[in-house]
Chains A and B, each alone.
Chain A
Amino acid sequence: SAGTQEAATKDDAGTGAATNVGVTDSAVTIAYIGDLSGPDAAVELTYYEGIKLAIDRANASGGINGRTIDLKAGDTRFDTAQAVTLFKKYTSEQPSLALLGINVSSMFEALTTRISAEKVPVIGPTGVTKVTLANPYIYNAQADLPTSAEAITKFISRQLGANAKVGVARISTASGDEWFDLFQKEAPKIQAEVTGQQKIEPAAVEAAAQVAQFKRDKVDAVTLHAGSGGAIALLKSMQTGGLNVPVFSTFGASGPTLWKSAGTLAASTYAFDAFAPPDSDVPGRADLEAAMRTAGSWDKFQQDKNYAEGWVIGNVVVESLKRAGKDLTRASFIEALRSPEGFQTGGYSADVNWSKKNGLADASAVKAFTFDPGTQRIVEVTNP
């Protein structure tokens, strides 16, 4: 697909060529495309709510450079055809300056050619790292999978020492494939043994058979790359199947449901994520908490890092719009996204800086989180 990436077509050459897509004197259109009622809805709805909070706040304070942000949302229902239609809608019918969301990796792969052709910036998808890095229009703030693999293996070797047997539980999508390859490559560095992979459907309810296999393989730990549904399936099944080993999850399932479903295993369940939950003790908390309380979403989402992630992405968009100035075009917006000073995130993640690379750069950005039964909070592991 790399070769076709830049392919633009004759009769509908991307409207990206035009200068001011989605921009009028009084408004700028940004569209979110996500699974809002399918198997990934729990994650993607929360993410959307966070984005919306940031954008609403910017609009409430008078907009940016005299423009209000018109945030659209389209539901893919986990259906590629819907994603394609929505993509078309938000690039031509209601042309948008930029797109947000597109978190399901197979949809993401289907759309990457169109994204290149359209020259539309897409901010914040958590798809496949290969594709993200290869497509100059995709900007990702989440921990990429190679970085996560590195962080997790290091952590495992510190916790379990050498020669640990590790089982891999992974979502059965493109990013799951990538994760398994990467982890397999990474594991020998810590002398860990990878005992094979267990696939988990995006809409899985339970994973009894996978857990049984892990038990048979006598794994010492499990790494997990899945959405929240897959995480629940695995962790619940580990409890009913009596598999009591630590779990190391990527960002995919690091929402509060990971630990809620972990039950007795919560204290030995870890997630590796670039983003911290809203109630973390970070400089930006006061700001976010105030905004969330006003919006009435604090009680519901205070522990959900997907919300904070959305908030950060929303603020990055707002800040970029500011930086792009009065003369807003996709080109100037992209330039702002890539500005060398990067974006501060109030400590909810490492600063975002896409001046060199459109994915996340450095491994220190990935933090480990776990559940503290004492305070009943999701906390960063400071001293592993």
Chain B
Amino acid sequence: MTQSIAPPHLADPAQPRAGVRRTGLAVLAVAIVVALPLVVSPYWTTVATNAVLAFAIAAPLNLLTGNAGQFSLGNAAFLVVGAYTGAFVTFTFDMELPIAMLVAAAAGALVGFIVGLPSLRLRGAYLLMSTLAAHYILVFAALKFQTSQFGAAGAIFPPLRVAGVDLSGDRSMYFVIAAFAALIGLIITNIMRSGHGRAIEAVKARDVAAAACGISVARTKLWVWSLSSAMIAAAGVLQAYYLGSASVEFYTLNLAITYVAMILVGGLGSLGGSLLGACFVTLVPVVVNHLSEAYGGGGVLAHPHELQTVIYGLIIIAFVLLKPDGLIGFVRSAARRLRNGG
């Protein structure tokens, strides 16, 4: 009998060795995250911030799409819902970031619940289309809100301060975002390792069977929709602070697709995959830009932006066709080889 390769989050939590290994990995990850900005330049800190922020958005999306099987293009809209709720709370009531994020999460949960409602009746391409429609409708609502509240430029955010402490510096911003990302990672890990995680997978794979096991398919789906969009909306507030502004023209369908590309490239249904995918996709423009600077001049490299568009497309295609389990697949097979070898 061959050894099964269960996704790590579903691996046996009762197995002590796996637990130790996982704790070890977690400690290592935290160490890397903390040490990173201390050893790299401010620019790479910014790149790392982008990646970590992208993870904080991709991971909840992966929970929804990868684990619960709800293919959604609504994540950019959830970001704008969060950003504008956050802006409204911040500017109108002069609230601190944590409060703004909580309120944004609540708004995100509500909107996610509503956008998730069609998932009770629709599946596959139809559900995807409903999220596409939701994207445009929500962004339109945000536009109207923006026009009435902030003007055409959108909301301009002041440098981040919490309890009188200035957190807008590169490093402090990085730590704030990393801490939030860690929280998101923890929540998702907890859920997916619990029995509810199993239920979520069951709803994805066989909803009739899930119902036959006493799992409320509707409740499970709506929970995941609300939870995932709450997390994305909260991330939206941070993102807006980080970018310095929130303007509807930023929240495009392409932005939504970028996060979908991340979870695809990283690995569907895997938290580690979300992280790898976020890093990878964030790095593509950075690397193409560096390459074109290093070897620029003639040929296609003279048009790095076009080249980048092509490369981005090729990466997506290549992963779907050649590595459907994503980057995390490499990690898993490497780990398996290690385990079998030693």
Report A's interface with B, CB cutoff 8 A. 1, 4, 7, 9-12, 36-37, 41, 72-75, 77-82, 84-86, 88-89, 92-94, 105-106, 109-111, 113-114, 128, 172-174, 176-177, 202
Contacts and interface: CB of A to CB of B under 8 A. Distances in A.
A293 to B, nearest CB: 19
Contact of A177 (B43, B152, B243, B306): B152
15 contacts: A4-B158, A4-B159, A7-B159, A7-B168, A9-B159, A11-B172, A12-B42, A72-B293, A77-B305, A84-B242, A88-B170, A109-B156, A110-B245, A114-B244, A174-B151
Interface residues of B, number: 39
A202 B249 CA distance: 9
Given A11-B170, A93-B44, A174-B153, A84 B305 contact: no
A111 B244 contact: yes
Contact of A89 (B43, B168, B308): B43
Contacts of A37: 305-306, 308-309
A113 B156 CA distance: 10
Given A109-B156, A110-B244, 9 more contacts: A9-B166, A10-B166, A11-B172, A12-B171, A72-B293, A81-B250, A92-B43, A93-B41, A177-B151
Contacts of B159: 4, 7, 9, 113
Given A4-B158, A106-B249, A84 B168 contact: no
Nearest to A81: B243
Interface string B283-300: 001100100010000000
Contacts of A173: 152-153, 249
Given A79-B255, A85-B47, A12 B169 contact: yes
B153 A105 contact: yes
B46 interface: yes
Given A4-B159, A80-B247, A174-B151, A92 B41 contact: yes
Max chain A CB contacts within 10 Å: which of B151, B255, B285, B304? B285
B154 interface: yes
B50 interface: yes
Given A12-B170, A75-B304, A174-B153, A106 B247 contact: yes
A82 B283 CA distance: 11
A88 B43 contact: yes
Interface in B291-327: 293, 304-306, 308-309
Interface of B: 41-44, 46-47, 50, 151-154, 156, 158-159, 166, 168-172, 239, 242-245, 247, 249-250, 254-255, 285-286, 289, 293, 304-306, 308-309
Contacts of A7: 159, 168
Contact of A106 (B42, B250, B286, B289): B250
Contacts of B168: 7, 9
Contacts of A109: 153-154, 156, 245, 247
B305 A110 contact: no
A41 B308 CA distance: 15
Contacts of A114: 244
Contact of B153 (A79, A88, A128): A128
Given A75-B305, A80-B250, A174-B153, A110 B243 contact: yes
A74 B170 contact: no
Contacts of B170: 11-12, 88
Max chain B CB contacts within 10 Å: which of A72, A106, A173? A106
A312 to B, nearest CB: 23
A140 to B, nearest CB: 17
A110 B156 contact: yes
Given A84-B243, A110-B244, A75 B308 contact: yes
A11 B244 contact: no
Contacts of B255: 79
Max chain B CB contacts within 10 Å: which of A84, A85, A92, A111? A85
A80 B309 CA distance: 17
Max chain B CB contacts within 10 Å: which of A1, A4, A77, A80? A80
Nearest to A9: B169
Given A79-B255, A109-B156, A74 B289 contact: yes
A173 B247 CA distance: 9
A80 B171 CA distance: 20
Contact of B152 (A77, A81, A92, A176): A176
A79 B244 contact: no
Contacts of A93: 41-44
Contacts of A84: 46, 242-244
B43 A78 contact: no
Contacts of A106: 153-154, 245, 247, 249-250
A128 B153 CA distance: 10
